[in-house]
Amino acid sequence: MASRRPGSWIAAAAAALVAAAVVLPLVGPVRVDLARAWAGVSPDHEILFHARLPRVLLALLAGGTLAAAGALFQALLRDALATPYTLGVSSGASLGAVLAMSLGWEQILGFPAVWAAAFVGAATVLALVVAIASEGRRMSSFTLLLAGVTINSICLALILLLQYLAGFAQSIAIVRWLMGGIEAVSYGVLAAVACAVLPAVAFVCWRAREWNLLAVGEEWAAARGVDTSRALLAGYLAGSFVTGSITALTGPIGFVGLIVPHALRLKVGADHRLLIPCSFLAGAPFLALCDTLARTVAAPTEIPVGVITAMLGGPFFIWLLRSRRRSLWL
């Protein structure tokens, strides 16, 4: 029920994030000597600072962002099963990224092409899914999920098509956007994505009061002075922007945006002023932990983290679907 001390939840989630950032880079099949790594001795230095740390940081950023985006989509669409992944927004972003790469685009309007195309892909799919599921002023949850599933498979089919048409080197790169995975990236790329995504996440947190009202209903919000069409547009744009930005780097990673907000709602309640920041802070270590599992369980083989989150999240999704059908409203 309602949290009595909202600050303590934020602090706990933030502590988990920091702990993950410090501890997880030390975990791996090869033991790293901290003193040697710090002193710049090879290979400990390279393993810690060029392989593991950027990967953990990217997992933190991606996990936090996807969880916050999940909570946002759930509020805007009034549906606890809506996430960037289940709506097909992640695969739309992937299709955009793959398309830009296959066509050999470098830049679109001065932005890195893969990134810009991923954003456009995400926004297009979201607009499409919302348009399909809207029945007048209502939104059908059933149609929403079916539309998401269908568009998801269309996008994946198109990615596969592009993969078959692509050369050998490109076709290997395209695999990343079929199954989401975290790879070590340069600190420059990491910083650029963080600079784009974090302000958008902060914006989403800042507007949380409006998401609260929209989560109850559009008329409910309008009768309380919210400019609903503008708020919805802002939310959809912010949601597709962050999803597109992350997916451009990681490919579609599912179920983080489902599991994390759902579990948190049971603890901190439905108030998005608390739920969205907590989702970000808790989603980050959650995905980083999943990714650490992904690179250690079958070492030296690395499993894409999307496999781990799907194996955790798939059954969870089915359980949620079943338990919701038993409740009053479906």
Q: Beta-carbon neighbour count of residue 99 at 10 Å?
A: 20
User: What does the binding site for other proteins look like in residue numbers (CB under 8 A)?
Assistant: 1-2, 74-75, 78-80, 206, 208-209, 212-213, 215-217, 219-227, 265-266, 269-271, 273, 328-329
Question: In angstroms, what is the minimal distance from the CB of 11 to other proteins?
Answer: 17
Task: Name every residue whose Cβ is closer than 8 Å to that of residue 55 and which is 6 or more positions away in sequence.
Answer: 182, 183, 184, 185, 291, 295
Q: Say how far apart CA 195 and CA 278 lie, in whole Å.
A: 20
Shortest Cβ 67–other proteins spacing (Å): 16
C-beta of residue 116 within 8 angstroms of C-beta of residue 109: yes
22 to 89, 183, 188: CA distances (angstroms) = 32, 18, 20
Separation of alpha carbons 50 and 47, rounded Å: 6
**Backbone φ/ψ region at 28: left (φ over 0), alpha (ψ -120 to 50), beta:** left
CB closer to other proteins, 10 vs 184: 10
> Min. distance of Cβ 265 from other proteins in angstroms?
6
**Cα–Cα separations (whole angstroms), residue 137 to 47, 104, 127, 217, 221:** 54, 41, 15, 10, 13
Q: Which is nearer to other proteins, 164 or 329 (CB)?
A: 329
Least separation in angstroms between CB 319 and other proteins: 17
Enter the tokens of residue 119: 């954003």
Shortest Cβ 75–other proteins spacing (Å)? 8
312 close to 290: Cβ distance less than 8 angstroms? yes
Nearer to other proteins by C-beta: 33 or 219? 219
Nearer to other proteins, 56 or 226 (CB): 226
In angstroms, give the least distance from the CB of 245 to other proteins.
24
- To other proteins, the closest distance from the beta carbon of 132 in angstroms equals 19
**Per the structure block, which two tokens stand in for 110?**
């001065």
Task: For other proteins, give the closer residue by CB, 176 or 272.
Answer: 272
Nearer to other proteins, 222 or 293 (CB): 222
β-pairing verdict for 138-139 and 107-108: unpaired
Which CB sits closer to other proteins, 47 or 145? 145
